[in-house]
A and B are shown apart, each in its own frame.
Chain A
Amino acid sequence: MQDNLQNLFADRLAEQSGQTHFASDEHQTAKIIQKIIAERRVATIAKTSLSDELNLELSSIFPVLGVEEIAASADDFVLQVSKADAGITTATFAIAETGTLVEIVNDDRERLISSLPPIHIALVRARDIVPSLDDAAPRLNQVYLSGISNSVVTFISGPSRTADIELRLVLGVHGPHEVHAIVLHSDRSD
């Protein structure tokens, strides 16, 4: 069941030109990130708060690759993210049926990390993949019923796209032209 959901999620995200990777643990996740950023010669990266474990893994990888990380508190944070080559974020959950990463944030900084750099890498735990949009509703309700704190929920189903000129599909017109979802704690790791 879990396995099917992961496959369905990957297929549906692929329909919208996004890629899915599977990792059994943080170490493997870091390896996948390493591969993506090495292949694309990523020099600067922005990330939202990740697990301590993963941070640790990444902090040993970035210096080796010569990747510079943008400080979350920088004064000119926006400008810096705008120049970053990749952004890493965590999706609160994902929807298999539509190939959607669901990002829930309380600070626009995190939105920028997934929307400004040309490459977006999003982590989602395998058990946080729900089958359908209907199953998303209760999870969203939790967000809203847990008080009135402001939030932005974004459904991300692939890279930025347009067909506004002659119906030609182009990816990455404003935001990312690549979206990589890494399914964490997956039993079907790459």
Chain B
Amino acid sequence: MVLTKCMPSFSTQTEVTRMTSHRYRILSQKISNAILAKGRAAALYSAMARGREARSKAFARLEGAETFRDDIRTIKQDSIERLEELLGTFSENARQRGAKVYLASNAEDANHYIVELAKARNVRLVSKSKSLTSEEIELNKFLEAEGIKVVETDLGERIIQLAKEKPFHLVLPAIHKTRQEVAELLSAELQKPVSDDMESLMKAVRESLREVFLHSDMGISGANIAIAQTGTIVVETNEGNARLVTSIPKIHVVIVGVEKIVGTMREAAKLIVAHPMSATGQRLTNYVSFISGRLPLAGNFEGRELHIVILDNGRLRMRDSASFREALYCIRCGACMNVCPTYGVVGGHVFGYIYPGPIGIPWTAEVHGLDKAAEFAPLCISCGLCKEICPADIDIPMMIARVKQQDIEANGQLLVNEFLSEAESFARVACAMAPASNWLLRRKTMRIIAERLIGIDRRRPLPEFAKETFLQWFRKRESRTTESDSKAVYFVDLYANYNDPQLGKMAVELLEEADVQVAVPPQKSSGMPYVSYGELKKAEKVALYNIQSLYPFATKGFSIVSTEPTASYMLKFIYPKLLGTPESNLVAQHSIEIFEFLSNLKSKGRVHIKSRTSGKVGFHISCHQRALSSGKFTVSLLREIGLDVKVIETGTCCGMAGTFGMKRGPLGFDLSEEVGKPLFELFLNSGVDFIATESSVCKIHLEQGTGLRVEHPLKIVKAAFER
């Protein structure tokens, strides 16, 4: 009854097309298979963890780390801004050096140029060093169709080529293959048994590829950077294969995306630091070659050519799109896939088309088409971590939300997504009907119906609904408009309003005890689910409503605090992105985490710790909080009241991701469990008495996954504070 009552409020303006449900089924199947392939997941997990650790170590020792991401972003931003000019300068300078420069407008064009060149020069064997751009256009296929043999010489790429697969990871394309599998592939290729110890494997690889280097008549390489000022191509490899590919064969073909051009050597020097730092933690890639024109070999220039194919293939269009332009800032370091929680479970074959991982979603949508991207875009659970780790600070999550939006506009929305993004309408009804609604929602039969009809997984406990919401309570109570020099708006968001009004009350009381003038203007919940499910128009509407309500307070010097990190994240980062208005920017400036606000009050002497407590608590940083303070104010206040606080983290998400973990089956509950397991284990082995986290949804997940008590830190500190 509860359900039916609120059902009509869901617009079904777009009919869910067969495409969407078909894709959903396929993706669910792929996720289930990936979860079952435990070995692969373990290998991927340790590769990612190692990548993250190496990166953060490198970051910690880096001089100028504070401005590093800004610097990289600025370089890329300027270069993309000046693209036409740089393209002209680069081409001219490279031509001066005798290179043939060809601007290919699309994949077909680029393939045609290279295949025709190979045919004209009678090329039989091509050696290739790693080039994702060449994979983007599937160049090998076209060369092979002409009977030309193409051999990848990067070890990982070679393994993938022999296995006839696509890269599993950007930097480590064959990370999912075991030694034994590699040995089998090599044995089959070389038609002799190769044993699976590393030494034998390397010997086999080295010997067989050495022959290729020596006898290939064309070498094809990618380029990490192109430098306009000098007409130089920069190629980075750790194995050194690119050095051979670009020197021995008579013809060297470079295939480079047009977005890789920068102005000067100075800018290139920054990028060659950024690549390995974000990818492997090295100070520099082992071999960085700056190739400026073709060189003779042992004094002989005969037949030695350099062709530089600059690929557009949608990039110039991306450049003109306000939403997707920043995808061009990508330096292909792979860091975003090292932090992506769902990629970490399913890997690049499921989470990717040719380009894997987070950036793979917008990139695929723009280069290979929306349909290809829509096959894996739902895997993004909007944790936002990829943006936080990206050396160019690319807003990948927002681009992904745009891809999802395009997809639902074309193909319709899944009912469960529509339902969950309208959770507030449901909560309103459920509260009005509490406690009957709670009783109903606890019934097994009801949960089965909800699972079948809507797609809410019956295994996920749902929070109870309060009879009186926080906003109702606040409106009813006597107004206390004592003017104060310290003012705050409390932004309550969904959970503290409908499920745990007590939390909201405590927040208000705590602030008022510190003589803060508290206001609670009309508001809707922050609307994160809209963003997660690509309902950006609705997200904009909610943003507009809240900004209109909050803006007048911001102009009067109110800070805006929330007990939900996601709400602060929305106010601070997402609303300005969605609306781009001065009003939203001002509200963002005034939004502050409640614990930072409390810390300020404490240092001004407006609140004091009256009683101390003890106990061991494990702190969980919610993903959206990582974009804020990573919980540093909360943790230090918890410590000040006497608690022994350990921050417990895997370095990625807990997997709940708002409402994602409530959804039925693989693309929901199962995946969220799989992401959460390593974190649950850490908590269980940590010996903590209970868990503290500010996120209401992480709380549900952690409680269920660990069996430990999970508290909002505000409730913990409340008792210890006084005026």
Contact B291 A165 (CB under 8 A): no
B16-24, B70-78, B198-206, B543-551 - interface stretch = B198-206
A107 within 8 A of B: yes
B282 within 8 A of A: yes
A87 within 8 A of B: no
Inter-chain CA distance A83–B552, complex, in Å, is 78
Partner of B269, one of A79, A136, A170: A136
Q: Which of B247, B265, B273, B285 is the most central at the interface, judged by chain A CB atoms within 10 Å of its CB?
A: B247
CB within 8 Å for A97 and B283 given contacts A115-B243, A164-B172, A167-B175:
yes
Partner of A12, one of B154, B283, B297: B283
Which range contains the number of A residues in contact with the other chain?
35 or more
Partner of A164, one of B173, B178, B240, B282: B173
What 1/0 flags go to A107-150 for Cβ under 8 Å of B? 11101100110000000000000000110110011001000101
CB neighbours (8 Å) of B50 from chain A are 167
CB neighbours (8 Å) of B243 from chain A are 111, 115, 154, 175
Inter-chain CA distance A163–B51, complex, in Å, is 12
Contact B286 A82 (CB under 8 A): no
Contact A151 B293 (CB under 8 A): yes
Contact B209 A174 (CB under 8 A): yes
CB neighbours (8 Å) of A157 from chain B are 282-287
Partner of B240, one of A16, A137, A144, A174: A174
- Nearest A residue (CB) for B205: A173
Contact A161 B239 (CB under 8 A): yes
Q: Which of B43, B98, B286 is the most central at the interface, judged by chain A CB atoms within 10 Å of its CB?
A: B286
Contact A153 B283 (CB under 8 A): no
Considering the complex, which residues of chain B in the window 169-208 have a beta carbon less than 8 Å from any beta carbon of chain A? 172-175, 177-179, 182, 198, 201-202, 205-206
Contact A107 B172 (CB under 8 A): no
Contact B239 A107 (CB under 8 A): no
Report how many A-B pairs have Cβ atoms within 8 Å.
Answer: 177
CB neighbours (8 Å) of A79 from chain B are 214
CB neighbours (8 Å) of B178 from chain A are 166
A30-38, A59-67, A70-78, A181-189 - interface stretch = A70-78
CB within 8 Å for A165 and B265 given contacts A109-B298, A111-B243:
no
Contact B182 A158 (CB under 8 A): no
Inter-chain CA distance A18–B288, complex, in Å, is 16
- Nearest A residue (CB) for B280: A163
CB neighbours (8 Å) of B282 from chain A are 16, 157
Partner of A160, one of B46, B98, B238: B238
CB neighbours (8 Å) of A45 from chain B are none
A19-27, A50-58, A98-106 - interface stretch = A98-106
Contact B97 A150 (CB under 8 A): yes
Contact B288 A154 (CB under 8 A): yes
* B178, chain A: closest CB distance, angstroms: 7
Contact A167 B198 (CB under 8 A): no
B266 within 8 A of A: yes
- Nearest B residue (CB) for A111: B247
CB neighbours (8 Å) of A159 from chain B are 286
CB neighbours (8 Å) of A141 from chain B are 265
Contact A105 B287 (CB under 8 A): no
A10 within 8 A of B: no
Contact B288 A165 (CB under 8 A): no
Inter-chain CA distance A166–B50, complex, in Å, is 12
Contact B47 A150 (CB under 8 A): no
Given contacts A16-B282, A111-B247, 15 further A-B contacts (CB under 8 A): A77-B297, A78-B214, A78-B298, A97-B283, A107-B295, A107-B296, A111-B295, A144-B230, A144-B232, A155-B289, A157-B283, A157-B286, A164-B159, A164-B174, A165-B174
- Give 13 pairs: A residue, B residue, CB < 8 Å, sorted on A: A82-B213, A108-B295, A109-B297, A111-B243, A115-B244, A144-B232, A150-B98, A154-B287, A164-B159, A165-B159, A167-B47, A173-B202, A174-B240
Which residues of B come within 8 Å of A, CB atoms? Answer: 43, 46-47, 50, 93, 96-98, 153-156, 159, 172-175, 177-179, 182, 198, 201-202, 205-206, 209-210, 213-214, 229-230, 232, 238-241, 243-244, 246-248, 265-266, 269, 272-273, 282-299
Q: Which 10 A-B pairs have the closest CB atoms?
A: A150-B293, A175-B240, A164-B156, A160-B240, A155-B288, A153-B290, A108-B247, A164-B155, A115-B243, A109-B298
